[in-house]
Structure 1
Amino acid sequence: MKISNETKIGIFTVVGIVILVLGYSYLRGNDVFSKSNRFYAIYQSVEGLTVSKPVLVNGFQIGQISKMSLLPNGHTVVEFKINHDYSVPANTLAKLASTDLLGSKAVVFQLGNSKEMAEDQDTLQADIQGSLAESLQPVQQKAERLISKMDSSLAAINKILNPDFQHNVDRSFNSIANSLQTLEGTTKKIDRLIGAQTSNLNSILVNANGAALNLKNSTSHLTGISRNFENVSNEIARANIGQTLNNANKAMADLQATIAKINSPQGSLGLLLNDDKIYQNLNNASANLNSLFIDLKAHPKRYVSFSVFGGKKSND
């Protein structure tokens, strides 16, 4: 059977139309050859977001935007087609994130930690992250304010830098240079003086070290003396000083009474000390006793006589 040219043209036309529709659908995010789940999110603003933009998880594309619809309240419903191979937790957050400085955006899934997985045609939580341009707006404003302040400062400097001011500045710098030269000369003199007195300074330092060492040794001795004094103070504090003083007073009173009795003429010692007659009698008795001892030594037979055989005593 021979196919006519008209039939061939018709077949090619149909195939072209099908390919065109499929390509258009693919460009719009409708992949008819792969299984996918559809999820939704509602945003207040979708500026910079278009159909076929990718859906990312940590920079990896798991799907794309397939459809966008405007609600009566001005919000936008965005439909995502996610590859059937990837599971999405129910508490996943769909964030609009900026992809470049021009404001283009994509959807970034911040996967949740729920064990329950979202099912086909579920609505996810939506969030909007500011673009890079919006993030840089505060920096830009600060830079503009800084530039304006710099312009005003430069204008003020230009007004200040007139010929008279420059002349005064030159004079000031000359004065500063002269002061620095004078200071340098003074410094050199001080250096020479210190160099000449280095030996004396060394001697002074050595003496100071010796004095410090002596002071340290003296401090140790003083510490020992202080400890001894503290021990003596503690012993005195523990001693019964009152009773000791009372005993001493009593002993002194007894001694005074004894001395009074000795000095009194009524006692033997008092008579011996105060009466001359007793002294003379004692002196005479001593002299007689001495004479008796001399005579006894010279003539012992007068006082002692004995005989072994009972003989008659002879008188000398």
Structure 2
Amino acid sequence: MSKELKIGAILLVVIILFVWGFNFLKGHDLLDGKAREFQVEYTKIGGLNRASTVTLNGLKVGQVKGIEFNTTEEKRGQLIVTFAVENDFQFSKSSVVKIYSPNPLSPSNLAIIPNYEGEMAVSGDMLQGEMEESLFTSIGERLDPLQTKIEKVIVSADTLFSGLNKVLNENTIKGINSSVSNLSATIYELRQTIKTVNSMVVDNQDNLKITLENTKNITGNLNKLADSLTTVNFNSIVQKAENAVDNFNELSKKINSTDGSIGRLINDDELYKNVEAATKELEQLLRDLKINPKRYVHFSLFGKKPQEYEPTAPDSLLFIKD
């Protein structure tokens, strides 16, 4: 063999060993012809990438070969993940392939959850996919509604502060400051008043003691008076009051009856009319006596015979009974 042929052969062997070693380090043995390929469809893959590990019951059985978009009209935008399984372990087509993350810092992997009922899966089958929420994804999903609420609260607070800024203009702030100043002055005056009252109490402490002693004496005297009043015969007083009420009732009955003079005077209408007529005649007599006194009284120092009376007015004749 020539020198150039030897160099070419060695270079080819090195390239083949490099490719095989690279794939072997990635977990795929090119010399193993038992590898089976399956596909799974996801709406999101959560950090899954090519060469991610595929496990079955915790054992590594393969790796992800490729990730591409679905180009059909119905499922446009969804992702189709192709992975190879180098183990000949059998599971059915109803098995689930779940995306999970071993820890928050590592990329996502695939885990086959085997199901042994129904038709067994063969290379090229489309399996059912699920995604296990990671810690950060779960926290993010829980924080999203909270974030929305916080944003609404911030907007409401911003509106509230805007309203307060409109209300608390320069004039309002001046008024509030003036009110606070007046309140401080009022509190100061109240303190001064309390100090004055305290000084008055201290100065008149002796007088207050005397007043309290006098009040105590008055209370004692009232107690003695109450004790003395308890000894009064209230029964006799009540009996006398009842007798007085009975006598008044008896007097009222006699007045309302026509037996006595007072009862007749009050209840007899004829007597009332006679008394009224006599009163009118007496009033007419007094009026005529005032107008014509010479008709009833004559006085002379020398014994002169009285002249015959002549009425002075035609209305002097007053004794006309109605």
TM range (shorter): 0.3 to 0.5
TM-score (norm 2): 0.39
- The two structures have a TM-score, normalised by structure 1, of 0.40
